[in-house]
Amino acid sequence: MSQKKLMGTQVARALDNIRVIDVGGFHAGPGAAYILGDLGAQVVKVEEPLRGDPYRGLTVLQGDASVVLPGGRVIPVETANRNKRGITLNLKKEAARAVLYRLIEKSDVFVTNYSSTTLKKLGLDYDALSQRNPRLIYGASSGYGPEGPDKDRRSFDSLTLARSGLMWAAGEREFDEPVGLVGATMDQLGATMLAFAICVALFHRQRTGAGQRVDVSQLGSAMHFQGINVDMALLRGRGFPRHSRTRTKSVFLNTYLCADKKWLALGEGQQDKYWPQLCDALDMKELEKDPRFATSRARRENYVELNALVNKIFASRGREEWLQVFKDKACGFAYDRVNTIEEAVKDTQVLENQYVVDFDHPALGPVKLIGFPMRFSKTPCAIQREAPEVGQHTEEVLLEYGYTWDDIASLRGAGAL
């Protein structure tokens, strides 16, 4: 079912009636809560009065890239906080904490990426909240994990890339320096892993009735992300070497610059099987049985010469021409275009699978947004609402949880909201 068809309809979703309280900032914690919202959970985002989530104060991210939209909305906020209703609570005030406790007593999940010191000070640690709601799933996101000498250190996306070794998994071997990834990728990975862990804990609670604390860190998520490379280092004493376009010993595992300055990638493991097809497609049939290249071993031994030949051939035509050649010749080897992010978000395959979806944003109008990496035949994911403004739904939510208008006025007078 398409996102457009979902809007304005009542469709069962996997986490319908699951209540989530999100007390966090930036992305790693709030991002997990938005994923739960995509799955149908009712998410309430708690922010400081006036200032709100620190994300709201960003104007640029990762260098000089502006993230501000018309009307002052901020792209990272829109990404991390869709499908939520927003309330404000000044958690330094006892009256505000009492409000949060009432919400916790009637909720299923608490999500946070605040430091353990801050949570303890505010009375929001696991022991305090589980006493009020033993069935609560307490999802905690951290930079470095709940144990060890650096458990309380501040960490951000780029530091996770650094500490986990991922900066040495990207980039060309010839450039002996660490390479970062843009777009807060580790924040998103940590958020995804936390959402997954919370869903597992909810499943366990359904069977046993017991809540529990769930800990996910960005460092742990980044190590998991590199599972094969980590085991390579553990079992062989060293990880995989960085890729090198000039030194790769397989023409089937490389990227190629085409005549239109766009890139194409080959990624085939069954090299001897498809060597004749590649020779035919590249119009180099004379090399198929050439003793220098006829077997995978021979090609490895003569990789420098073969790489030069293949690079020159790919540079003679544009990328789309090559893709058409491969299609016309029904090539079975694995290949694809190397998209820029601007190309990827317009890719037909991306759009058809709802990895990017249409959304009618109340403030921005019709837009496209990041979609869903998973698909359910009976309980589809959906974007039901945009990210809230600071405190946009405070009265609405508190009334649902049993407060009266007089109660709300009193809380505002006390500086709790």
User: Residue 46 falls within a domain, yes or no?
Assistant: yes
Does residue 216 contact residue 59 with C-beta atoms inside 8 Å? Answer: no
Answer yes or no: do 130 and 183 share one domain. yes
Q: CA 310, 316, 322, 326: dihedral to nearest 10 degrees?
A: -50
Instruction: State residue 5's pLDDT score.
Output: 43
At 373, give phi and psi (nearest 5°): -80, -10
CATH of residue 301: 3.30.1540.10
Does residue 164 contact residue 229 with C-beta atoms inside 8 Å? Answer: no
User: Residue 189 falls within a domain, yes or no?
Assistant: yes
Does residue 45 contact residue 85 with C-beta atoms inside 8 Å? Answer: yes
User: Residue 368 falls within a domain, yes or no?
Assistant: no
CA distances from 80 to 24, 62, 63, 341, 356 (A): 11, 17, 20, 19, 15
Answer yes or no: do 143 and 52 share one domain. yes
The closest of 261, 168, 192, 244 to 36, measured between CA atoms, is 192
3-class SS shares of the chain: helix, strand, coil, % to 5: 40, 15, 45
Residue 371 neighbours by CB distance under 10 Å: 20
Q: How far apart are CA 410 and CA 12, in angstroms?
A: 38
Instruction: State residue 9's pLDDT score.
Output: 56
User: Residue 124 falls within a domain, yes or no?
Assistant: yes
Domain that holds residue 307: 253-340
Instruction: State residue 60's pLDDT score.
Output: 85
Give me the number of domains the chain comprises: 2
Answer yes or no: do 10 and 148 share one domain. yes
Answer yes or no: do 177 and 75 share one domain. yes
CATH of residue 19: 3.40.50.10540
Answer yes or no: do 108 and 33 share one domain. yes
User: Residue 92 falls within a domain, yes or no?
Assistant: yes
* DSSP-assigned states of every residue in 280-323: HHTT-GGGTT-TTTSSHHHHHHTHHHHHHHHHHHHTTS-HHHHH
Q: Which residues contact 153 (CB under 8 A, 6 or more apart)?
A: 143, 144
User: Residue 236 falls within a domain, yes or no?
Assistant: no
Helix (H), strand (E) at residue 66? strand 65-66
Answer yes or no: do 182 and 271 share one domain. no
Long-range contacts of 5-12 (CB under 8 A, 24+ apart): 6/380, 6/382, 7/359, 7/360, 7/382, 7/384, 11/379, 11/380, 11/382, 12/40, 12/378, 12/379
Q: How far apart are CA 124 and CA 141, in angstroms?
A: 14
Chunked into runs of 10 residues, the chain (417 residues) has average pLDDT values of: 49 95 97 98 97 90 84 94 98 97 98 96 97 98 96 92 94 88 94 98 98 98 97 95 91 97 97 96 96 95 96 98 98 97 97 97 96 96 96 98 97 96
Average pLDDT, the chain: 95
Answer yes or no: do 131 and 172 share one domain. yes
Answer yes or no: do 202 and 319 share one domain. no
For the whole model, what pTM was predicted? 0.93
Instruction: State residue 214's pLDDT score.
Output: 98
User: Residue 372 falls within a domain, yes or no?
Assistant: no
Residue 374 neighbours by CB distance under 10 Å: 11
User: Residue 47 falls within a domain, yes or no?
Assistant: yes
Q: How far apart are CA 34 and CA 79, in angstroms?
A: 8
* Tokens at 376, concatenated: 């359910």
Answer yes or no: do 204 and 285 share one domain. no
Q: How far apart are CA 332 and CA 347, in angstroms?
A: 21
Helix (H), strand (E) at residue 349? helix 348-352
Answer yes or no: do 188 and 142 share one domain. yes
Which amino acid would we find at residue 283?
D
Q: How far apart are CA 74 and CA 99, in angstroms?
A: 28
Answer yes or no: do 61 and 110 share one domain. yes
Answer yes or no: do 194 and 332 share one domain. no
